[in-house]
Amino acid sequence: MNNPYLPIAATIEEIIEESASIKTFVIRPDEEIVFETGQFVELTVPGVGEAPFTPSSSPSVSERMEITIMEAGSITRLLHGMSPGAKVGLRGPYGVGYPLEKFRGRPVVIVGGGVGLAPLRSLLLALMEEIQLYDTIYLKYGAKTPGDIIYRRLIPEWAEVEGLDVTLTVDGGDEDWKGNVGVVTTILDDGRIDPAKAVAVACGPPIMMKFATSRLLELGYREDEIYLSMERNMSCGIGKCGHCRLGEYYICKDGPVFTWNKIKHVEEPFA
């Protein structure tokens, strides 16, 4: 029987601390999981339950998967307490990936807030693997404080990549911070980008998504070129349990990424 509700066993191989509340888990499933960037998985803490996460690693690697997780509640707390070697479960991938073919030849503006950079890292890696196919890729990332910036070990490498432009900002700096201060919407206005030609991809906390969307629209980005990662409580991940409804969609099945034109009619989409 093809049972869509059960996970396959997986082993945590490595755990990397990204910030005080965020860790990246390197996980090896017993069977390979092939995903497209933007799709998500359900990660099981055996005997306790599961939660949805978008892999943060490259979709071209299928025998191992990295997932960057913020401690936010019961499942994530248990995950944060785990050590390498621990057994977890995985099922998926679910949802629809980013339509990379539509991004080709155009500037791609990636807007991340907090742990929202995790799924975007997978996208960034996928784009970087064929970077010559795109116009410049702009990563615009905001975190609360310098200590909350994730992937600090990787960002300097990214900044060196030709065709990739990285801008960081923090809501509040410290003595050592020399970069931008302000929320992520303050670094979206960029004279080098022609919004009419660009695609924007955003992922972050609801409030950031709301303001980033309005800012991008103000700047002249097209409604159908603003890709937004939407979040709702989820259980099944396969469009059956009813938890993740957003208007006429289920986020798990029709998303998790939607262009703004598809969801703008929904009352309070970012609530």
- Would you count residue 3 as binding another protein (CB under 8 A)? yes
Per-residue mark of binding to ligand FES, 250-269 (x: CB under 6 A): x-x-----------------
- Would you count residue 174 as binding another protein (CB under 8 A)? no
Among 36, 239, 264, 270, binds ligand FES (CB under 6 A): 239
C-alpha pair distances (Å), 58 with each of 23, 124, 193: 17, 8, 26
| Interacting span for ligand FES (CB under 6 A) from 70-78, 111-119, 196-204, 235-243 | 235-243
Picked from ligand FAD, another protein, ligand FES, none, the partner binding residue 173 (CB below 5 to 8 A depending on kind) is none
- Would you count residue 235 as binding ligand FES (CB under 6 A)? yes
Q: Which of residues 36-55 bind another protein (CB under 8 A)?
A: 44, 46-50
Nearest CB to ligand FAD, comparing residues 52 and 146: 52
- Would you count residue 256 as binding ligand FAD (CB under 6 A)? yes
Residues that bind another protein (CB under 8 A): 1-7, 9, 44, 46-50, 72-73, 76, 87, 89, 206, 231-233, 235-236, 238-243, 245, 248, 253, 267-268, 271
